[in-house]
Chain A
Amino acid sequence: MTFTGLIGRLCMYPLTLIIRACVRLRIHPNILTFVGVLINIGAAWTLGLGHFVTAGVIMVVANIFDFIDGKVAFELKAVSAFGGFWDSVIDRFSDLALFLGLIYLYSTLGRTDYVMVAALAMIFSIMTSYTRARAESLIAKCKVGFMERPERIVLFMIGAFTNRMAGVLWVILVLSVFTVADRIIHTYRELREDRQEAIA
């Protein structure tokens, strides 16, 4: 087993208990999604104030809600097209909120350079999601590129807990640029193959 797989399994145990509790209480998954974004806005607020460890703790709580909503929907047999759409839209708000918190923090510190790094990382993070969503309206699947939302969120937490947010922002920025490029190239190749097959 890989070590990321082991970490995933270890985290899954407490999450399973929380999922069971939500299922027993019959909490609607869309409400869990919405509570997640509200807590994430709290995390963004604390990031903006420079309280990284507090922000990290709040992010952990917020992302528990983010993670379990789909599983609770499955257990409650409440999986719906709107639920998926709602989850994706709310996730974007959560992402934007966290970046906005950092942009506010760096602007109050007078660090225009890091305002730009955070803003660019925010743009490419959103573009990562957009390119996949748009590509999958044209081709079957566009799940390429490393820097997806779970990686971004875990990196945010690592940056907050260990006070290494600058390094984390650079990683998110560079790998998000490559992820977007990867998805554009992948979609281009897939569409070109389809066209060649249609001609042949």
Chain B
Amino acid sequence: MKPAPPLPLPLRILWNAFFWTYERTTWQYDLMVIAILAFVWLTPPDWLGDPMAIGSGPVGWIVASFRQ
């Protein structure tokens, strides 16, 4: 689904990401999968208040190392 008025590139990327029309096994699909996996694995569980995961994850370690 394409937006009626032409949008600037960043907005167009956001629109296409959320109003998804791409098939599986396309580069756009791969990119979305990478973004999702990055969010799931890199976001510190503490930030999300994860009831089961322990620790702050890779991003948390990096942030902590900069603070020291």
A interface with B by C-beta (< 8 Å): 1-5, 8, 50, 52, 105-106, 109, 111, 113-114, 144-146, 155, 158-159, 162-168, 170-171, 175, 178-179, 181-182, 185-186, 189
Contact = CB atoms under 8 A, between A and B. Distances in A.
Given A4-B24, A4-B33, A178 B19 contact: yes
Contacts of B24: 4-5, 8
Chain A residues touching B, majority SS: helix
B33 to A, nearest CB: 6
A166 B27 contact: no
12 contacts: A3-B30, A4-B25, A105-B51, A145-B20, A164-B50, A165-B53, A166-B50, A167-B40, A168-B40, A171-B40, A175-B36, A185-B19
Given A145-B20, A178-B20, A179-B20, A171 B29 contact: no
Given A105-B52, A144-B19, A171-B36, 12 more contacts: A2-B25, A106-B51, A144-B21, A146-B20, A159-B40, A162-B41, A165-B52, A166-B49, A167-B40, A167-B48, A178-B20, A189-B1
B37 interface: yes
Contact of B48 (A144, A166, A179, A185): A166
Contacts of A109: 51
B48 A182 contact: no
